[in-house]
C-alpha cells in the first residue's frame, strides 16, 4: 500500500533542532487512526510530552548511574530524608502513600523498598507505639548516598531547562504545575 503523502494539519513548527523528523510519521498515523473525538493538535502535543518524559527520565538516570541508583529509587530515599528532617507533610510513609505520591503502583513501591533495603539504604524497625508493625528508616548508607547523589541530581534537573531563558521558565512553571495537578487528580 503506497504511503499517503497528505501532510497532517498538526505538524510542529520547523527549526534546526525540531522534533519534526521523529514525530511526522506519528502525526500521519494519528491523522489516519484517531477517532473523530480526538483533538489531533492536543494528541500530538501529548505525544511530545510523553516522549519528553521518557527522555527526561533517561537523562537523569544516566547522571545517577555512577551512584547505581535510578531517579525513582532516589525519590523514595528523598521522601525518607524529608520525613527525618521534618519536611514531609504527607503522613506515614507507607507503601501506599509513597505509591500515590510518586504516581506508581504499590507493587512497584514494594519492589523499590525491598531493593533499597537489600542494599542497606533503608532498614525496618519495630514501631515504638505498635510493636507488631514495622517502619522503614533511612540508614547511614542511605543518607550518605543522598549526600553524594543529590548535588548531581539537582544539576541534572537544572540542565533539563537549559534551553529555556528565564522568561520561558516563568511561563512553563505554572503550565507544568497545571498539568501535574490534573494528572494527580485524574
CATH number of the domain bearing residue 144: 1.10.10.10
Indicate whether 107 pLDDT > 50.
yes
> With a threshold of 0.85, does the pTM exceed it?
no
**Domain tally, the chain:** 2
48 lies in the same domain as 98: no
Lowest mean pLDDT among 62-71, 111-120, 131-140: 131-140
Task: Please say whether the beta carbons of 184 and 103 come within 8 A.
Answer: yes
Amino acid at each position: 500500500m503506497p504511503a499517503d503523502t497528505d501532510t497532517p494539519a498538526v505538524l510542529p513548527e520547523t527549526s534546526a533542532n525540531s522534533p519534526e523528523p521523529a514525530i511526522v510519521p506519528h502525526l500521519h498515523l494519528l491523522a489516519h487512526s484517531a477517532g473523530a473525538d480526538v483533538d489531533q493538535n492536543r494528541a500530538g502535543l501529548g505525544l511530545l510530552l510523553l516522549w519528553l518524559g521518557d527522555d527526561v527520565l533517561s537523562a537523569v538516570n544516566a547522571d545517577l548511574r555512577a551512584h547505581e541508583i535510578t531517579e525513582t529509587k532516589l525519590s523514595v530515599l528523598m521522601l525518607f530524608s524529608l520525613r527525618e528532617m521534618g519536611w514531609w507533610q504527607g503522613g506515614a510513609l507507607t507503601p501506599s502513600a509513597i505509591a500515590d505520591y510518586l504516581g506508581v503502583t504499590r507493587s512497584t513501591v514494594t519492589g523499590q523498598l525491598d531493593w533499597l533495603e537489600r542494599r542497606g539504604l533503608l532498614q525496618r524497625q519495630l514501631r515504638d507505639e505498635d510493636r507488631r508493625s514495622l517502619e522503614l528508616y533511612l540508614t547511614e548508607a542511605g543518607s550518605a548516598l543522598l549526600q553524594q547523589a543529590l548535588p548531581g541530581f539537582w544539576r541534572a534537573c537544572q540542565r533539563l531547562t537549559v534551553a529555556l531563558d528565564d522568561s520561558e521558565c516563568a511561563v512553563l512553571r505554572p503550565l507544568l504545575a497545571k498539568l501535574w495537578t490534573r494528572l494527580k487528580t485524574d
